[in-house]
Amino acid sequence: MSRPVRIGNVSGFYGDRIDAAREMVEAGEVDVVCGDYLAELTMLILAKAQDRDGGVGYARTFLTQVEQILGSCVERGIRIVANAGGLDPAGLADAVRAVAAGQGITARVAHVEGDDLRSDLSAISPPVEGAPVSANAYLGAWGITEALAAGADVVVTGRVTDASLVVGPAAWWHDWARDDWDALAGAVVAGHVIECGPQATGGNYPFLDEITDRRYPGFPIAEVAADGGCVITKPDRTGGLVSVGTVTAQLLYEIGPPAYLGPDVTAHFDTIRLEQAGEHRVAVTGVRGSPPPQTLKVALNETGGYRNTMTLVLTGLDIEAKAVHAEQLLFGIVDRDAFDDVDVRLLRFDRPDAASNAEATAHLRITVKSADRRVAGRAFSNATMQLALGGYAGFHTTTPPTDASAFGIYRPARVPRSAVAHTVVLPDGERRTVADPPAFSPTDSQVSAPVRIGEQSKGATRRVPLGAVAGARSGDKGGDANVGVWARDDAGHAWLASFLTAGRVRELLGSEAAERDVEVFELPNLRAVNVVVHGLLGDGVASATRPDPQAKGLGEYLRSRLVDVPEHLLP
């Protein structure tokens, strides 16, 4: 058995910390550097960039990182793998070659393509209407594996799954077979942990008291062993924390049911076991895998129209009455029915007898959408300014009148594997079709694991924030929001799993979740439950009108709610 392969992540999104790559190469002692650049929203951004004259459809920041590290990586045998190719992986591969030539470096560059389905949408289900600006299947890891086996120093891809950036190098390093389900599933879990960069090393972590080194967190490293188990760590002498808690938080980020479907394997998150294996070292073991589904996930981005938001400031007394008056006046000036959608939210930040002017204010946030840019543009925002002298007492806005901006709509779909030409282009130019897995699961559905409903404690309770006994991390999955909630010990999990039902989630999240379909899944090995609130984010982040369009703060809101907690669980 070969030693574990050390894979370091240097990007969690397009626009992440540029210096992470140089820091990882200099201090991480890694075999592979990987980076994730492609969120669902990023594909829309890249499509717009590609559509402009002279525009490119890949993540430009990756090239800046390559300029900084390529020489060191080639000299030391460190491979670079990234999905920064976006909508033009071939173009990015050429750009990397140009960087290498400009620095006098001989670098073997390969790329993976075939995910872009815009030229033929006929096999996608549900059927696609119109012409989406992007339509990308989520490819797996084996194209990356074949490129590395052919000697590539740099492999760039389009839309592969985030975890494939780790699965591909691990399968190459350990020479896994395509049906080594458990090993592949373990690598998927490792990839899921490190794909969002420092979120695994103390970033966005709810228990700040646990993080004694408050410097910017070091980016994560996964040491993936031959059996698929791994150790999560970070470069020495970098900030942050790697603990069972920080790894748990990232494992729960943006997932659904415990059966985590991927193009190469289904990883069963309810089999994951975590153990602190040293300072800033967490061992991940026990992951079981099974065959993947027969179809691939597809991310569609469509043009949605135009939107505009104006925020009116309300101060002092009679906040609700002022808000009603302002809304009535505004839609007496402009016809409410002229817009395709109107979203009005009163955001209460004010407090009685405030110590400062700012603390006495609330916001009336009004967003309109229309297929016609003129309707949603200055005609709307200028109308709000007509309230300046004829509206409520203390009228002012947070911005001057603004023009409308285009927004997109995200739609998830699926496509048969036979309709996707997963292709790797090797450093010598050879084009090779990447074979499908040798077996598939009998269903494309994620099997729900119902939450165990136990008896509530009959002992004394105290009304405290849920966050006194539980951590949470939340995010977006298209139009759905996910909140992973975990306890710090077994007793806390036993209570949490019986307490946090779908009905309780609706109650705690308030009016915007009251009528939503809510699913709750138990992950006992992680002392956690995962909550999915369907439809909370509408048509995805690009079109959402809620103030937190990606549900990043939803978990912290849930933790802030007062609940009756058994006293024996409290510190």
State the Cα–Cα distance between residues 60 and 51, nearest whole angstrom: 15
Rg (CA), the chain: 25
What is the pLDDT, as a whole number, of residue 442?
84
**Residue matched to tokens 């705690």:** 508
State the Cα–Cα distance between residues 296 and 419, nearest whole angstrom: 10
What is the pLDDT, as a whole number, of residue 336?
97
State the Cα–Cα distance between residues 482 and 550, nearest whole angstrom: 10
State the Cα–Cα distance between residues 569 and 514, nearest whole angstrom: 28
State the Cα–Cα distance between residues 187 and 229, nearest whole angstrom: 7
DSSP assignment of 64-90, as one string? HHHHHHHHHHHHHT-EEEE-TTTT-HH
What is the pLDDT, as a whole number, of residue 423?
98
What is the pLDDT, as a whole number, of residue 446?
61
* Contact (CB, 8 A) for 157 and 111: yes
* Contact (CB, 8 A) for 547 and 365: yes
Q: Which of 127, 159, 129, 134 is nearest to 144 (CA)?
A: 159
- DSSP code of residue 158: S
Q: Which of 301, 374, 382, 420 is nearest to 44 (CA)?
A: 301
- Write out pLDDT tens, residues 289-340: 999 999 999 999 999 999 999 999 999 999 999 999 999 999 999 999 999 9
* Contact (CB, 8 A) for 230 and 451: no
Q: Which positions of the chain have pLDDT values less than 70?
A: 1, 53, 445-458
The residue extents of the domains of the chain are 5-299+412-433, 304-409, 461-569
State the Cα–Cα distance between residues 262 and 139, nearest whole angstrom: 9
CATH top class, domain 304-409: alpha beta
What is the pLDDT, as a whole number, of residue 513?
94
In the chain, count H helices and then E strands: 14, 26
* Contact (CB, 8 A) for 525 and 272: yes
Does this model's pTM top 0.85? My answer is yes
What is the pLDDT, as a whole number, of residue 571?
83
What is the pLDDT, as a whole number, of residue 565?
97
